[in-house]
Amino acid sequence: MARLNAQNVERAKAVIRRYPRERSATIPLLHLAQEQDGYITPEAMEHIGELVGATAAEVQGVATFYEMFKHEPVGTYLIGVCTNLSCMILGAEQVLEHTEKVLGIKAGSTTVDGMFTIEEMQCLAACGGAPCLQVNYRYFENVTDERVDGIVDALRNGRDPEGQSIPPHGTLSNITLPAPTTPADRERPEEIHPAPQGVES
Amino acid sequence: MTDTAPAKTTFTITVDGKEIEALPGELLIAAAERGGTYIPRFCYHPRMRPVGMCRMCLVEVVGPRGPQLQPSCMIPVADGMVVDTESPTVKKAQDGMLELLLVNHPLDCPVCDKGGECPLQDQTLAFGPGESRFVEEKRHWEKPIDLSSLVALDRERCIQCDRCTRFADEVAGDPLIEFMGRGAYTEVNTFPDDPFASYFSGNTVQLCPVGALTAKPYRFKARPWDLDQVESTCTSCSVGCRMAVQSSNDRVVRLLGVDVDPVNHGWLCDKGRFDFEASNSDDRLTMPLVRTGDTLTESSWGVALAKVTEALSGAKDRHGAGSIAVLGGARLTNEDAYAWSKLARTVLGTDHVDAQLGDGLPAEVVLGLPRATIDEACSADLLVLLTGDLKEELPILYLRVRGAVQDQGLRVLEISPVETGMTRYAAASVRAVPGELASAVGHDTAKALLQGAGKVVCVLGRQSVAESADAVMDAAAALLEAVPGVTFLSGLRRANVHGALDMGLAPGVLPGRISLADGREWVGSTWGELPAEPGLDAHGILTAAAEGKLQGLVLLGADPLADFPDRDLARRALAGAGTVIAIDAFLTASSRQADVVLPAAIAGEKAGSTTNLEGRVSRLNQKITPPGTARADWMIAAELASRLGGDLGFESVAHITDEIAAVAPAYVGITSAALLSSAGFDGLLTGGLHDAHHEGPPSMGRGEAVEVDAVAAHGDNPTVEVRDSSPAPDQPDPSAGSEPHGDESSTAEAEAILAGGEGDHVEAVQKSAEAGESVATRPNRPAVLRSTPTVTRRAVPAVDGYSLRLVASHKLYDDGTLVQHSPSLAPLAPGSVVRVNPADLERLGVTAGDSVRVTSSRTALTLTTQADLGVPRGVAHLAFDQPGPGAADLIDAAAPVTDVRLETI
Ligand code: SF4
Ligand code: SF4
Ligand code: FES
Ligand code: FES
């Protein structure tokens, strides 16, 4: 996988048409690429450059500025544990350590089965629910070791952890059509968003 | 604002208690500088948009809530603004910014190329806190990485000022370097495997305020305090960018762009910046060479000149002056060219002289068209491009035009057989059928743009050497018919070709843009007897030589085997000419065949002046001594003249410059004194422009003694320009594009600007010349040429169904001697690749990348193909003058067009 596939090119063109300037679509198209491949490949950046009339270097400049764009493969579930001040005071280090132990990997790495990646995060703006973590950017607040066990167990077994549905990393929720036809797109809800930006919800 | 109160033209602001005048819209940092207050800065650059990246320029501006810290590079002045650049708050901010910038800076000044001329060093010393509280480990990056084959980057030293990246995007239009990452780990970099292959990459090195970017040709070559410099002008193409030539141990080690407002805005292209390497080449000729049998052997000047004298006087005595021809001259300074023009016309008695090599346009037409300057081209309502690819041939003109399109909305109509670097910026680009340019001028799209356009300027040059120059002349005629008021900027690309033509190195043309017929009396009164009839041009000279009619052929830096469009004819010419005398800095394909080779000095090794494509005369200064016994071409001319029993009467370069000013009508007032005056800093425009704007020939009937005291003519105003300057007055800040001869900015400059901008220097000079005019005792000074291109409508044969029509145009990097003897540039020549529309490739059954046999009426070559949508169907494109066999082998210079067949092998 590398360049955007035919269907994503169509989606990309639809996104580009929404903007007065083509290159304004760079970020939504990067999300498309990340949805397709799970991370941003150099080939995708080149392709996006061609689509929006920018050089690959310019696209890479944008893509490397944002933490949410990954440049290496990440697991299906990206677990981000906040270790900033509030969370740290309330036991973030323990949460992180426990998550690492449960998954058998260190923060910054991915399990061999490609299912989980752990990331250490800066303040997630959920200090009121500290310590907190995110799975594919969905929040879990006031986490404890037990809840971490529960979340990991649910995800391993294809269940929704604590009732939250969590699509695979990179899945876009509200980018506009064309309608999905491939299995990878199945879970994407069809909705017309007034300000279509490839935002992960 | 009411109708009765017109908008203020100047504002008064107070900087550190001193009132200064500022221009509305001007940035505070610039206004303060003009007023004599230097505010430290890293990211601000007068030729680029402000970004407010570095915060070094914080000053206190008094607002409604009292003094506030503001970045002076981001705020335009307001009337009555009160600014403090030295308050304790400002000092604290400066200390803080510098301490922060140095947190991750490696401070490896002792091994950094920038050390000694580094704005970060200088400003830390002048404005910094003197110590750092940062004791932690600094951020580390891999030491230098290559951004391209010419530029290396040390990311540890980068202070993220955005100058290089802004330049690449805004000015060069090649956004191939970008900030990557974020926060402390922000780095400048390219996309993997997509190097910073911009023709303008060297400028980023000059712009970088630290030693992060270094140019490979200069890396570790010298320390700034070992450098000695003079200001000069680039002669690698005809744009004539101003630059500083820096040397160490009598070798040129670096060239830096100098900001000249009407020309280069401080930029240089990479060819102009780095081809100095050739002057240090071991291949330079240091001694004359004389042929004995098959070999050229070193000899003394005495022996070599005796041989030349014998050959030329023998030829003249036995076969007449018409058996001698002088080819070339674009490499020469104006003074060299004038000397050779005089030598050829008087002592040798021949008018067979041509500085162009069949790759340009007829001189008498180019010199006589109504003229436009670069500034006028950029401010026109419509700019018509009837010339080669500006990006490849005249790179800094490309930057100027591109900038005008981006910033001032200049509309460009391009008429070209293939896509060019300008195409994406053109309002319309009309594909002309090669050989039939004129019909493209009448194309509906072109017509629609031309109709109703106010001021139209046309850049006129030679798009393809595979078609005859007649096609361009017809197109120019068609344009003049459609838009009678159109003015022209020459697109001839070769070095000082305009100076050489202006000095009369073209058949039937005498110095100062007058014809042999009109100028006979006037020039003859200084020169003596002149040839009776106009002579042959390059094509005629080579044809005559091939037919055995030339006994003496002088190649003035000319290499017809490489540069003449028709290599077969050039080959026969060199074989058929009696004695071939080459004056060159290197052995070229052609000079290897010469009977005598005289070593010449090149740019940087000799002084004089040069004339750029808009007719602007600028100084060339000598920085190093020529290698061995090589010498300036005018000296060779003078020496030959005396050996041949004549006397050119020259004592020095300045002496020739002054003779030119006296003899050449278009050069009135351009004396050595005027060139050295402050008014000469931007170069002086020749009178041809003046003529275009006035009825009647203004140069007619002027007196003989044109003594111009330029200082008197201009008062004491120093140069009129706003320049960046460095904090240390004796240390130019090359990154900011300041003039290397020190900071001359003063209130007088500001006054000059406020008084209404720059005047036309030459006009002023001329006025003063008129005032001090003495009564003419000589013939009337003739008017400079005026011409209308004659319409030839030369019949162009229809291309047959199997053939493609050839377009051969220049690339920036070619097989030219300077590029090929510059180790950094030589590998960049792209080679001869046939570019063809993919549809044609498919029709011919050729896969892109395959080798094909390319056959013309002349020969067959095996070349690789490349599919290119920028080449229209029915056309094959080849870069001209690339290493190895190529376009010149295929072209028959006598034919109006060149058709080629492509066959698979
Ligand atoms: S490399 Fe130099 S010019 Fe470019 S951002 Fe860094 S400091 Fe500025
Ligand atoms: S554009 Fe021409 S004159 Fe200017 S630097 Fe390049 S080669 Fe030299
Ligand atoms: S510190 Fe963890 S969410 Fe703010
Ligand atoms: S912020 Fe003004 S010079 Fe950098």
Spans of all domains in chain B: 11-86, 364-490, 803-904
Q: Are B660 and B504 in contact (CB under 8 A)?
A: no
Give buried/exposed letters for B456-487 (b at 16+ CB in 10 A, else e).
bbbbbbbbbbbbbbbbbbbbbbbbbebbeebb
Measure in Å the smallest separation between the Cα of A72 and chain B Cα atoms: 14
Smallest CA–CA distance from A64 into chain B, residue: B181
CATH of B11-86, one of 3.30.360.10, 1.20.140.10, 2.40.340.10, 3.10.20.740: 3.10.20.740
Q: What pLDDT, on a 0 to 100 scale, did the predictor assign at position B760?
A: 40
- 3-state SS, B134-158, equals CCCCCCCCCCCEECCCCEEECHHHC
- pLDDT tens figures, B136-171: 999 999 989 999 999 999 999 999 999 999 999 999
Residue B43 CA: which ligand 1 atom is closest?
Answer: 8
For range B49-63, the mean pLDDT: 95
The residue type found at B819 is: V
For range B295-302, the mean pLDDT: 96
Q: Taking Cα atoms as reference points, which of B312, B346, B335, B306 lies closest to residue B634?
A: B335
Q: What pLDDT, on a 0 to 100 scale, did the predictor assign at position B777?
A: 58
Confidence bin at B789 (pLDDT 50/70/90): confident
Indicate the average pLDDT of chain B.
88
Whether residue B196 has pLDDT greater than 60 = yes
Q: What pLDDT, on a 0 to 100 scale, did the predictor assign at position A174?
A: 56
d(CA B74, ligand 4 centre) in Å: 7
- Pairing type for strands B412-416 and B428-431 reads parallel
- Pairing type for strands B11-15 and B251-257 reads unpaired
- CB count, 10 Å around CB of B885? 15
Confidence bin at B5 (pLDDT 50/70/90): low
- Best residue in B166, B176, B194 for a mutation probing chain A (most A CBs within 10 Å): B194
A59 chain-B contacts, CB cut-off 8 A: 191
With a pLDDT cut of 70, the percent of chain B lying above it is: 89
CA triple B679-B233-B162, angle to 5 deg: 95
A58 chain-B contacts, CB cut-off 8 A: 169, 175, 178
For range B171-185, the mean pLDDT: 95
Is the N-terminal amide bond of A178 cis, ω within 30° of 0?
A: yes
> How far is C-alpha A108 from the chain's CA centre?
15
> How far is C-alpha B618 from the chain's CA centre?
11
Q: Taking Cα atoms as reference points, which of B612, B610, B611, B614 lies closest to residue B373?
A: B614
Tokens of B892: 């028959």
B177 chain-A contacts, CB cut-off 8 A: 57
Three-class DSSP category at B384: strand
Whether residue B723 has pLDDT greater than 60 = no
Among all bound ligands, the one having the nearest atom to the CA of B166 is 1
Element (H, E) at B525: helix B516-527
d(CA B233, ligand 1 centre) in Å: 27
Q: What pLDDT, on a 0 to 100 scale, did the predictor assign at position B778?
A: 67
Q: What pLDDT, on a 0 to 100 scale, did the predictor assign at position A175?
A: 52
pTM of the model: 0.88
Residues with Cβ < 8 Å from B64, sequence gap 6 or more? none
B263 touches chain A (CB under 8 A): no
The domain made up of B803-904 has a fold known as Barwin-like endoglucanases (2.40.40)
Tokens of B336: 């060299």
- Give whole-number Cα distances, B872 to B418, B779, B836, B851, B869, in Å: 7, 55, 8, 20, 7
d(CA B339, ligand 2 centre) in Å: 25
Spatial distance between the Cα atoms of A37 and A60, rounded to a whole number of angstroms: 16
Residue A124 CA: which ligand 3 atom is closest?
Answer: 3
Residue B161 CA: which ligand 4 atom is closest?
Answer: 4
d(CA B544, ligand 2 centre) in Å: 34
Residue A85 CA: which ligand 3 atom is closest?
Answer: 1
Confidence bin at A120 (pLDDT 50/70/90): very high
Tokens of B428: 């319309």
Whether residue B705 has pLDDT greater than 70 = no
Q: What pLDDT, on a 0 to 100 scale, did the predictor assign at position B130?
A: 79
Residue whose CA is closest, atom 2 of ligand 2? B237
Contact B182 A64 (CB under 8 A): yes
Measure in Å the smallest separation between the Cα of A2 and chain B Cα atoms: 15
For range B545-558, the mean pLDDT: 96
Confidence bin at B6 (pLDDT 50/70/90): low
Give buried/exposed letters for B279-291 (b at 16+ CB in 10 A, else e).
bbbeebbebbbbb
Spatial distance between the Cα atoms of B557 and B816, rounded to a whole number of angstroms: 11
B 192-211 residues inside an 8 A Cβ radius of A: 192, 194
Diameter of chain A by CA atoms?
A: 50
- In B72-123 the beta strands, taken as DSSP E runs, fall at 82-84
Q: Are B576 and B547 in contact (CB under 8 A)?
A: yes
Among all bound ligands, the one having the nearest atom to the CA of A121 is 3
Three-class DSSP category at B123: helix
d(CA A28, ligand 3 centre) in Å: 27
Confidence bin at B2 (pLDDT 50/70/90): very low
Q: What pLDDT, on a 0 to 100 scale, did the predictor assign at position B43?
A: 96
Whether residue B598 has pLDDT greater than 60 = yes
- Best residue in A55, A59, A68, A70 for a mutation probing chain B (most B CBs within 10 Å): A55
Whether residue B361 has pLDDT greater than 90 = yes
The domain made up of B364-490 has a fold known as Dimethylsulfoxide Reductase; domain 2 (3.40.228)
Q: What pLDDT, on a 0 to 100 scale, did the predictor assign at position B737?
A: 42
Confidence bin at B511 (pLDDT 50/70/90): very high
Q: What pLDDT, on a 0 to 100 scale, did the predictor assign at position A60?
A: 97
Among all bound ligands, the one having the nearest atom to the CA of B210 is 1
With a pLDDT cut of 90, the percent of chain B lying above it is: 80
- pLDDT tens figures, B634-659: 999 999 999 999 999 999 999 999 99
- pLDDT tens figures, A97-117: 999 999 999 999 999 999 999
Residue B54 CA: which ligand 4 atom is closest?
Answer: 4
Q: Is B272 in the pocket of ligand 2 (CB under 6 A)?
A: yes
- pLDDT tens figures, A136-151: 999 999 999 999 999 9
Q: Taking Cα atoms as reference points, which of A187, A192, A185 lies closest to residue A15?
A: A192
Residues with Cβ < 8 Å from B462, sequence gap 6 or more? B359, B360, B361, B387, B388, B469, B472, B491, B492
Domain architecture of chain A: domains with CATH: 6-71+170-185 (1.10.10.1590), 77-163 (3.40.30.10)
B175 chain-A contacts, CB cut-off 8 A: 54-55, 57-58
B179 chain-A contacts, CB cut-off 8 A: 61, 65
Whether residue B772 has pLDDT greater than 60 = no
B108 touches chain A (CB under 8 A): no
Q: What pLDDT, on a 0 to 100 scale, did the predictor assign at position B774?
A: 41
d(CA B170, ligand 1 centre) in Å: 15
Q: Taking Cα atoms as reference points, which of B616, B713, B630 lies closest to residue B674?
A: B713
Confidence bin at B779 (pLDDT 50/70/90): confident
